[in-house]
Amino acid sequence: MTHATLNLNGKSYELPVLVGTEGEVGIDISDLRAKTGAITLDNGYANTGSCTSAITFIDGEQGILRYRGYPIEELAEKASFEEVSYLLIWGHLPNAQELAEFRHRVTYHSLLHEAMKKLFEDFPITAHPMAVLSAMVASLSAYYNREDEEPDLNIARLIAKTNTIAAFCYKKSIGQPFVYPRNDLSYTQNFLHMMFAVPAEPYKISPVLDRALNLLLILHADHEQNCSTSSVRMVGSSRTNLFAAISAGVCALWGPLHGGANQEVLQMLKAIRDDGGDYRKYVNLAKDKNSGFRLMGFGHRVYKNFDPRARILKKAADAVLQEMKVADPLLDIAKNLEEVALHDEFFIERKLYPNVDFYSGIIYRAMGIPTEMFTVMFALGRLPGWIAQWREMKDDPKTRINRPRQIYTGATTRSYLPMEQRTASTEPAMLQERELVLV
């Protein structure tokens, strides 16, 4: 299959076809407008590839997720988050020396410039941590902007300092003093130390929490061209700096339909608990189009089968709660909700399965991480994926500044109306979306 034929206005056009390493077929429309004068329209880009990429592969029908060819199940079970970060960014699992050098770099760049602490103070204590995180990540460009440095140094700085910024966001939200990173701890151990240690007494890092955090960060590390990753690529395509592009990803992830869903899932489960635990009522509410209610943590643009990450997290939630001797009624509600939804025609017909956000919040909660911090945790995990995708975009000679087209549906040309001729009726009629004329 080397080309597709398009018939338009009585003329035939041949469009090149490319096939990916996993057999995905793409019709290349890079010169469609030059050839035909027409563009395509694909609201939400559900059918549009924005790039070629060698980083992550998802098969939504089979529930497959691989980072650089390695199945997520194997990486979740055997790898460290540092190894997975290195794999995503530089394309291969690091050998012992490469991993040691990467770890050393990330460890010794974990301090923030002392002046950045002042930025935290200027946020109200009620500020959502994602507002603080996005501002702090963008602010790193004010401190690290030398052109003569090797590009991978800022990648290490960003990974190292985002860990510290995330923990500082939490400490700020509870009015506790910042706890500085330690050089004798791993990335995940340092995060737990900075989050939960207090000056008054020594903090013992729980291996259970450390393992759970490592798993959660790996499962969130990358996911093809999702909304936030596409935002990083879009912003990065203007050749702005790494910190600015990643800050755009943080802002996109914040939305409740994307990374903000994990926070919404917990709030939904609490609402069901506080409403007497009648989860069937909420399944029925989600099926009522007029309710405006969705079962948060369900559904996915790509997965039309189980999200493999949700499957892993469901098992991990049980294990973490057991090991921590925590019984959480919200987990029982989540499992009952899933059971009912997966047997309900509405969900089956729309292939709405639990996604990564459905169980992750249960584990974060068991770890003592507050709901408002859940999306920060998602961002911390997704960071190496965003960086890998930004780097691939930056180094790809085919990359051009992203500038989509549109189909204009507004008013056709008209003359300026003097004030005395303007009546209420002239504007709305003219500005209502005109019927799209289908030829």
Catalytic residues: 300, 357
355 touches ligand SDX (CB under 6 A): yes
The piece of 240-248, 327-335, 349-357, 423-431 that touches ligand SDX (CB under 6 A) is: 349-357
- Contact pick of 109, 223, 233, 314 for ligand SDX (by CB under 6 A): 223
- Contact pick of 109, 300, 314, 391 for ligand SDX (by CB under 6 A): 300
- Contact pick of 113, 294, 311, 394 for ligand SDX (by CB under 6 A): 294
Residue 27 has a CB neighbour count (10 Å cut-off) of 16
Centroid of chain to Cα 302: 14
- Which of 192, 253 has the CB closer to ligand SDX? 253
Residue nearest to ligand SDX (CB): 299
What would the 3-class secondary structure string for 9-70 be? CCEEEEEEEEECCCCCEEECCCCHHHHHCCCCCCHHHCCCCCCCCCCEEEECCCCEEEECCE
299 touches ligand SDX (CB under 6 A): yes
Question: Residue 166: CB partners within 8 Å, gap ≥ 6?
Answer: 129, 133, 191, 373, 376, 377, 379, 380
Nearest one of 191, 259, 224 to 386, comparing CA atoms: 224
- Binding to ligand SDX by CB under 6 A, coded x per residue (else -) over 178-217, reads ----------------------------------------
Lookup: tokens for 427: 């504007």
Give CA–CA dist 381/254, Å, rounded. 14
- Contact pick of 112, 312, 356, 393 for ligand SDX (by CB under 6 A): 356
Sign, CA torsion 9/25/63/247:
negative
66 touches ligand SDX (CB under 6 A): no
273 touches ligand SDX (CB under 6 A): no
Lookup: tokens for 247: 């800050």
- Which of 79, 261 has the CB closer to ligand SDX? 261
Decide: 295 and 230 in contact? Cβ < 8 Å: no
- Contact pick of 204, 239, 315, 350 for ligand SDX (by CB under 6 A): 350
Looking at residues 103 to 122 of the shown chain, list those that interact with ligand SDX (rule: CB under 6 A): none
Centroid of chain to Cα 86: 18
272 touches ligand SDX (CB under 6 A): no
DSSP state of 382: H
Nearest one of 217, 178, 216, 220 to 196, comparing CA atoms: 178
Size, binding site for ligand SDX by CB under 6 A: 22
266 touches ligand SDX (CB under 6 A): no
357 touches ligand SDX (CB under 6 A): yes
Centroid of chain to Cα 100: 28
The piece of 81-89, 140-148, 254-262, 419-427 that touches ligand SDX (CB under 6 A) is: 254-262
The piece of 239-247, 300-308, 364-372, 416-424 that touches ligand SDX (CB under 6 A) is: 300-308
Looking at residues 145 to 174 of the shown chain, list those that interact with ligand SDX (rule: CB under 6 A): none
- Which of 243, 359 has the CB closer to ligand SDX? 359
Decide: 402 and 233 in contact? Cβ < 8 Å: yes
- Contact pick of 65, 89, 165, 352 for ligand SDX (by CB under 6 A): 352
286 touches ligand SDX (CB under 6 A): yes
Nearest one of 87, 143, 88 to 117, comparing CA atoms: 143
Question: Residue 259: CB partners within 8 Å, gap ≥ 6?
Answer: 228, 253, 357, 375, 378, 379, 382
Residues in contact with ligand SDX by CB under 6 A are 44, 223, 226, 257-259, 261, 286, 294-302, 350, 352, 355-357
